[in-house]
Amino acid sequence: MHGSVNYPVHFSTTEALPGPPATPTTVSDYYKTTFLVKYNTNGQFIWKRALQGDVSDVTDDSSISDITSVPLKL
């Protein structure tokens, strides 16, 4: 947030979260705060996955307490 203006999160020039809904109790991707995002080796956006289900301004809290890595099989 910058002053009183909200700027949507951008993952690339073509992929961004939506702007705020009309009411804070509306379920919207705008309120999602935790994502797994993949970029290629050139830094170009590939995909994103929200780590939350449906959220509104009331239920937007999230945290990650543990991350487990599995080796890729090529």
CA separation (Å) from 51 to 8, 12, 22, 41, 57?
Answer: 18, 19, 24, 23, 16
pLDDT in tens, 19-55: 889 998 999 999 998 999 999 999 999 999 999 999 9
> How many helices (H) does the chain have, and how many strands (E)?
0, 2
Whether the per-residue pLDDT at 16 is higher than 90: the answer is: yes
Reduced to 3 states (helix: H, G, I; strand: E, B; else coil), residue 47 is strand
Which pLDDT value is given to residue 45?
95
What is the share, in percent, of the chain residues with pLDDT greater than 70?
Answer: 89
| Cβ neighbours of 23 (radius 10 Å) | 9
